[in-house]
């Protein structure tokens, strides 16, 4: 090929590339292309187009460099290494998360609501994450119906949950239940029977829909076994949405709390691909472990105090603060308590982030919910006061790269207000929501045929050799 022909081909490719980028841009306008209410049918149409797009893109730009890796990055938790493809959401350090290009306020505005409700339905966010399109009310209703129809859980899971000791952390119970529910995996069964790999995404889709449908019941049984004398939850009401049913199975009927749950279960879904839970699901799924096993792996990561468990930690820490300082607290008392936390070698839970560099919009939308519904709640006032004081202290300490609050700094106070006071349980609710993001991604992992993940590692002596060789070249 002559140089001019090659250049022309490249220019054509760039024009096409820009067109693709516009189709998923951060415009905030409403993309709504499909009219079918069957999500699988919609995917059947979208997936071949996207597969073709990725094949062409890789053919033309596969050698393009997107970043570099330093030795510090390797020792430093791979921070900043550009090494993953995740289609469902992208995190901007300053602006926060965008789900398929839509910010949280845009999702709150554009996604369908329950009758009489103001907050988006998580069913709609799932449709958006999977397809990239804002669903219609009918499409969202169809997802609700499918999840309600798939909600039954196997008896052996109920027996297992009922036999766990009450000392076992709710997250361990949740993860174990997800693991053993793989008795139901259509993916694992079909794989064992030698299914063609072109069918992987469909089986992953079926398992994901089944698993998401079953999670509220599993999570409610855990809650009721631990905190409500083991009374089993009421059966699913097939006329109601996913969040309503989950809240009701926990034992709550305040419509305002149901609205909070719709928001909560929407905003905790997805935070691009590198966070521990999302990355773990993607990694384990890459070995073709079925969606139940892959999701359980993510939940074991979410159970870590630097990740999802931070929402429990925030309340533990705030309760200690209240116990040690009493009711009304001055800013100076607060400062002293926070400095003591730092001096004792602990982190301030709910603050900081590996990628974000501003206040998390998931914090902001929960704060707005609180300002609207519980502006005079003493715990909310304390959380708001902490927000005024902590960032300056973290800046003064000079260690944390991000002194601003993340999602976990606010969720507990809202749950406490509506009477869900068992903070050990909070990460399970986070996990129920996170399923929507990580499983939407897993469907795309299989649709795009992403291979087993296996980055190269080195030991320190080898790295030293690489470093010496690089220094000698200079
Ligand atoms: C989220 C988190 C794990 C990110 O970790 P990270 O990317 O390594 O963060 P940084 O690069 O800013 O860390 C640099 C230093 O600041 C410290 N730091 C970060 N956030 C801090 C916080 N909230 N309180 C005190 N110190 C903090 C780190 O521990 C680290 O200290 P070290 O050098 O002694 O090891 C971290 O901010 C944290 O532990 N936050 C509290 C837990 C939390 O809220 N987790 C939920 C996240 S959504």
Instruction: Give exposure, 322-350, as e/b (b: 16+ Cβ within 10 Å).
Output: eeeeeeebeeeebeebbeebbeeeebbbb
In short, whether 446's Cβ falls inside 6 Å of ligand 1 is no
d(CA 405, CA 363): 7
- Averaged pLDDT score across all residues of the chain: 94
Question: What's phi and psi for 412, nearest 5 deg?
Answer: -60, -40
> Residue 98 forms beta bridges with which residues?
90, 103
CA-closest residue to ligand 1 atom 19: 400
In short, whether 405's Cβ falls inside 6 Å of ligand 1 is no
DSSP per-residue codes, 232-247: PPPPP-TTS-HHHHHH
- Between helices 408-417 and 361-373, what is the axis angle to 10°? 20
Judge contact between 226 and 162, C-beta under 8 A.
no
Catalytic residue list contains 353: yes
Expressed in percent and rounded to 5, the helix, strand and coil fractions of the chain are 65, 5, 35
Sequence-ordered list of residues with C-beta below 8 angstroms from that of 464, at least 6 positions apart, any chain: none
Residue to substitute in 347, 356, 391, 430 for testing ligand 1 pocket (most ligand atoms within 8 angstroms of CB): 347
Question: What's phi and psi for 311, nearest 5 deg?
Answer: -70, -30
- Per-residue pLDDT tens for 86-120? 999 999 999 999 999 999 999 999 999 999 999 99
Atom in ligand 1 nearest the alpha carbon of residue 360? 48
Query: Is pLDDT above 60 for 25?
Result: no
The total of other beta-carbon atoms located within 10 Å of residue 389's CB is: 17
What's the CA dihedral at 307, 311, 312, 313 to 10 degrees? Answer: 70
- Per-residue pLDDT tens for 171-224? 999 999 999 999 999 999 999 999 999 999 999 999 999 999 999 999 999 999
Judge contact between 204 and 189, C-beta under 8 A.
no
Phi-psi region of 399 (alpha: psi -120 to 50; beta: other; left: phi over 0): alpha
- Per-residue pLDDT tens for 298-311? 999 999 999 999 99
- Per-residue pLDDT tens for 26-79? 455 677 778 899 999 999 999 999 999 999 999 999 999 999 999 999 999 999
Query: Is pLDDT above 90 for 9?
Result: no
In short, whether 314's Cβ falls inside 6 Å of ligand 1 is no
Decide which of 417 and 9 is more confident. 417
Residue to substitute in 400, 411, 431, 434 for testing ligand 1 pocket (most ligand atoms within 8 angstroms of CB): 400
Reduce the DSSP state of residue 405 to 3 states and report it.
Answer: strand
Sign of the alpha-carbon dihedral angle for 246, 251, 253, 254 = negative
> Which is catalytic among the residues 169, 307, 360, 410?
307
In short, whether 351's Cβ falls inside 6 Å of ligand 1 is yes
In short, whether 465's Cβ falls inside 6 Å of ligand 1 is no
- Per-residue pLDDT tens for 441-469? 999 999 999 999 999 999 999 999 999 99
pLDDT of residue 156: 98
Burial, 177: exposed, middle or buried (Cβ in 10 Å; 0-12, 13-18, 19+)?
buried
Q: How far is ligand 1, taken at its centre, from the CA of residue 270, in Å?
A: 20
What is the Cα gyration radius of the chain?
23
pLDDT of residue 474: 85
Atom in ligand 1 nearest the alpha carbon of residue 342? 25
- Per-residue pLDDT tens for 313-366? 999 999 999 999 987 899 999 999 999 999 999 999 999 999 999 999 999 999
Query: Is pLDDT above 70 for 15?
Result: no
- The tokens describing 259, both together, are 């609205």
Query: Is pLDDT above 90 for 148?
Result: yes
Query: Is pLDDT above 70 for 10?
Result: no
In short, whether 360's Cβ falls inside 6 Å of ligand 1 is no
* Residue bearing tokens 């890796």: 69
Distances (CA, A) of 101 to 82, 129, 134: 19, 10, 11
In short, whether 285's Cβ falls inside 6 Å of ligand 1 is no
Judge contact between 31 and 132, C-beta under 8 A.
yes
In short, whether 347's Cβ falls inside 6 Å of ligand 1 is yes
d(CA 354, CA 142): 37
CA-closest residue to ligand 1 atom 17: 400
Q: How far is ligand 1, taken at its centre, from the CA of residue 337, in Å?
A: 18
Query: Is pLDDT above 50 for 1?
Result: no
In short, whether 308's Cβ falls inside 6 Å of ligand 1 is no
d(CA 234, CA 212): 18
What's the CA dihedral at 190, 195, 199, 205 to 10 degrees? Answer: 10
pLDDT of residue 22: 37
CA-closest residue to ligand 1 atom 2: 353
Catalytic residue list contains 408: yes
Residue to substitute in 272, 305, 352 for testing ligand 1 pocket (most ligand atoms within 8 angstroms of CB): 352
d(CA 221, CA 154): 13
In short, whether 205's Cβ falls inside 6 Å of ligand 1 is no
């Amino acid at each position: 090929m002559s140089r001019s022909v090659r250049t022309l081909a490249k220019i054509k490719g760039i024009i096409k590339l820009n067109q693709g980028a516009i189709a998923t841009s951060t415009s905030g306008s409403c993309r709504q292309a499909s009219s079918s209410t069957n999500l699988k049918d919609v995917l059947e149409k979208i997936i071949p187009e996207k597969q073709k797009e990725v094949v062409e893109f890789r053919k033309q730009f596969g050698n393009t460099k997107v970043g570099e890796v330093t030795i510090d990055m390797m020792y430093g938790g791979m921070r900043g290494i550009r090494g993953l493809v995740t289609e469902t959401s992208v995190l901007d350090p300053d602006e926060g998360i965008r789900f398929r290009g839509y910010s949280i306020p845009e999702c709150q505005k554009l996604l369908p609501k329950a009758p009489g409700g103001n907050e988006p339905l998580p069913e709609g966010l799932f449709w958006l994450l999977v397809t990239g399109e804002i669903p219609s009310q009918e499409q969202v209703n169809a997802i609700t119906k499918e999840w309600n129809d798939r909600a039954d859980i196997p008896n052996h899971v109920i027996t297992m949950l009922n036999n766990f000791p009450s000392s076992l952390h709710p997250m361990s119970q949740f993860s174990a239940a997800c693991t053993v529910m793989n008795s139901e995996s259509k993916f694992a069964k079909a794989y064992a029977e030698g299914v063609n790999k072109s069918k992987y995404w469909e089986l992953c889709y079926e398992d994901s829909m089944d698993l998401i449908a079953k999670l509220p019941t599993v999570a409610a049984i855990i809650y009721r076994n631990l905190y409500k004398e083991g009374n089993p939850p009421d059966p699913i009401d097939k006329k109601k949405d996913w969040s309503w049913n989950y809240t009701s199975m926990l034992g709550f009927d305040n419509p305002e709390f149901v609205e909070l749950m719709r928001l909560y279960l929407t905003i905790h879904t997805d935070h691009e691909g590198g966070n521990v839970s999302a990355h773990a699901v993607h990694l384990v799924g890459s070995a073709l472990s079925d969606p139940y096993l892959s999701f359980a792996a993510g939940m074991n990561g979410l159970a870590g105090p630097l990740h999802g468990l931070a929402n429990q930690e925030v309340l533990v820490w705030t309760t200690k603060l209240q116990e040690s300082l009493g009711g009304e607290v001055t800013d100076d008392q607060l400062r002293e308590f926070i400095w003591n936390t730092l001096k004792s070698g602990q982190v301030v839970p709910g603050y900081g982030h590996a990628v974000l560099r501003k206040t998390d919009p998931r914090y902001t939308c929960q704060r707005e919910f609180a300002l609207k519904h519980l502006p005079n709640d003493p715990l909310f006032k304390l959380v708001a006061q902490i927000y005024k004081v902590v960032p300056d202290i973290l800046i003064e300490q000079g260690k944390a790269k991000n002194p601003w609050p993340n999602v976990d700094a606010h969720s507990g106070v809202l749950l406490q207000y509506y009477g869900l006071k068992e903070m050990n349980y909070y990460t399970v609710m986070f996990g129920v929501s996170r399923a929507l993001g990580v499983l939407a991604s897993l469907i795309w992992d299989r649709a795009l045929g992403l291979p087993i993940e296996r980055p190269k590692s080195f030991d320190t002596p080898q790295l030293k050799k690489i470093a010496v060789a690089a220094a000698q070249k200079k």
